[in-house]
Structure 1
Amino acid sequence: MATDYVLFVHGVKQRQPEEFNRTVQELLQNVQRSIGSNGRTIKPIVVFWGDLNVQPQASLRQGLEASPQWRNLWLADFRIKEVVEFAGDAALYLSRHVGAQVVQRFQQIALPILQGAQSGGGDRLHIVTHSLGSVILFDLLFATRWDDPSLDKDASTRQTRQTVTQLRNTLFGLGQEPGRGIHISSVHTLGSPIALFSLLSVTGDSTHDLTKDLRAMLQTLYHQRGKKALPWYNYLHPGDPIAYPLQGLMPRLMGNAQLYVHLRDVITEHRGLPITWGRLPLLWGGDAHSGYWKSNTVVKTLAEVLR
C-alpha cells in the first residue's frame, strides 16, 4: 500500500514533545475523518527540536532579569514570553552548536524513515511546518551555506554537513542523484516568517540563499509531475504578527521557479477582530500564532491534498 508521509516541524514556543505529538495526532485524526478511506496510509514524521533551547534561554532570562533596569521596562513579560522566545530560537538555530543539534534530530527521526520510502512505488511526502520551523527546514534543504567545503575541516561540522547531504539525497530533485528519492507532493507553511528571513539574501549572494537548489528541485518535480506545479499553501491568521504572505515575493525569492509551484496565501480566520497593542500579546499566545493546528481551513486543505 502506498504511503503519504507527512513531515511536521514545529516553530517557536514549543517545549514539550509529548504535547506536540498529541497536537499532530489530533490534526491527522481530523484529516483522516475528512478523507475517509482512499487506499493510502498516512504516516507522520514528527521532528521536535524545541527542548534544545530551554537551558540557553533560561540563562538569558536570568541575566536580563538581573539587570537593575529590567523592572523599569514596559511589557517585560511580553518581551520574555514572546520576543525573546522567537528571536532566541532563531538565533540559537543559526548558531553552530544548537544548529548542529537540530540537524541531529532530523538525522535521528526523519532520515531513517525517508530513506526507507519507496521512491518509485507511489509514496509521497507532504511538508507541514509552523513558524520558525519553516525557516529551519527550508534552510536545511536549500541554503547554500551547507555546501561550504570549509565545514569539512572540523569533525563535528563535517558530520553535520554530511547529514544535511543525506537528507537532501532522500528527496526527488535534490542531492547528488536528483532523479531518485521520494517526491514532495505538497507544502504547507503555517504562520511562517520566511518572508522576513528572505532579507538575509536581499543584497545579493548569501550563504542563506535558497533560490538555486529550490529552483532546481521545483523544476525537476514539475516535469516529473507532467508539468503540474507543486501546490504550496501558506496559511496566515490576520492577528499573527509573525505570519507574512509569500505570493507577492515569489519573483524575488525564486525568479522563474515560480512557474513550477502554485503558491497560495490562505487566510485562516475572517472574524475581522480589531488589533490593538494591548490585545497583541493575547492573540500571539492564544489563537493567532498557535491556532493553526486546530484550524478547519488547514484540516480541509490538507485533506484535499492527501485525498
Structure 2
Amino acid sequence: MMLNFETLKSSLVMYGLDAMYAILLLIFGWWLAEAAQRFVFRLLTVTHQVDPLVTAFVASLARYAILAVIGIAVLQLFGIQTASLVTVLGAASLAIGLALQGTLSNLAAGVMLLVFRPFRIGHDVEVGGKAGEVRSLSLFMTELKAPDNTQILLPNASVWGQPIINRSAYPATGELKVSFPVPAGPAADAIAQCVLQDLRENPNLQSQPTVHVSRVIDITNADRPVVELTVTARVKPSEVGAVKQQVLDRIGALVARSPRQGPPDRAREGGSEDVRR
C-alpha cells in the first residue's frame, strides 16, 4: 500500500493549524475567564449591597461558564458536533453521573450554602473538625484561614453535610466570668492580686479586669472562713475560651499552694467549672 504523501502533508497542515488555533483559543479563553471573574467581582463589590460570599460565588460561576463555552468551541474546531456529543453523553448519563458524583455533590452543596448562608465571609466557624475564619466560597471548595495562618480547603459537600459551629453568628460580648472559693483573709487577697496581674498582661483583654467577693460560703468556723471570689473581664470574643482556661489553670496553681482550709477547692463559671487542688 503506497502512502500518498501529498494527502498526508495536507492533513498534517490542516490538523496542525486546528491544533494551533485550539491552543490559542484555550489561552485566550483562560485569560478571558480570569478577566471576567475579576470584572464581576469588582462590579458586585462596588455596589456595597451584595454579600461578599455571594460576590465570590457569582464571580467564580462567571469564570467556569466562560471556560465551558471555550471548551465547546474547541470541540467544534476539531469537527466534533456538540449535538452528537450531547446525545452520547445522554446515553452514558448513568456512568458519567457516577463518575462525577463527588464533583456534582460539591456543586450542589455550594449552591445550598449560597442560598441558606449558614456563614459569611469573616465568620469564625468550625466544621468537620476544622476551625478557622471563612475566606471564600467557590463552586466546589470552601476556604478557611486557620488561627496559625494556614489555608484550609474543604469540599463543599463535606461542609454542607457536617454540623456547622458558627461562633460569629450572634453578637458576642466577650465577657469572662469565673467564680471560685478561697480561704478568707490574706490568702484571698494574694490570689486576687496574682490573677489580676496575669490578666492585665494578657493582650486579648479589652477592659480592666476586676476580682471581688461575690458571696460568703462558710463562716461557721471562725478559724477557717471561706469566701467566693469572682473574676470578671472583657476579652476578644474569639479568645474567651482560651483566656478562661488560663485563668482556671492559674487559680488551680495558686489555690494548691495556699493553706488547705475550708471545703475542697473548686472554680466554676455559673457552677460548672472545677479546679482540682
Q: Which structure has more helix as a fraction of its residues?
A: 1
- The structure showing larger relative contact order (alpha-carbon pairs under 8 Å, at least 6 residues apart) is 1
Structure with higher Rg: it is 2
* TM-score (normalizing by structure 1): 0.23
Report the TM-score, using the length of structure 2 for normalisation: 0.25
Which structure has more strand as a fraction of its residues? 2
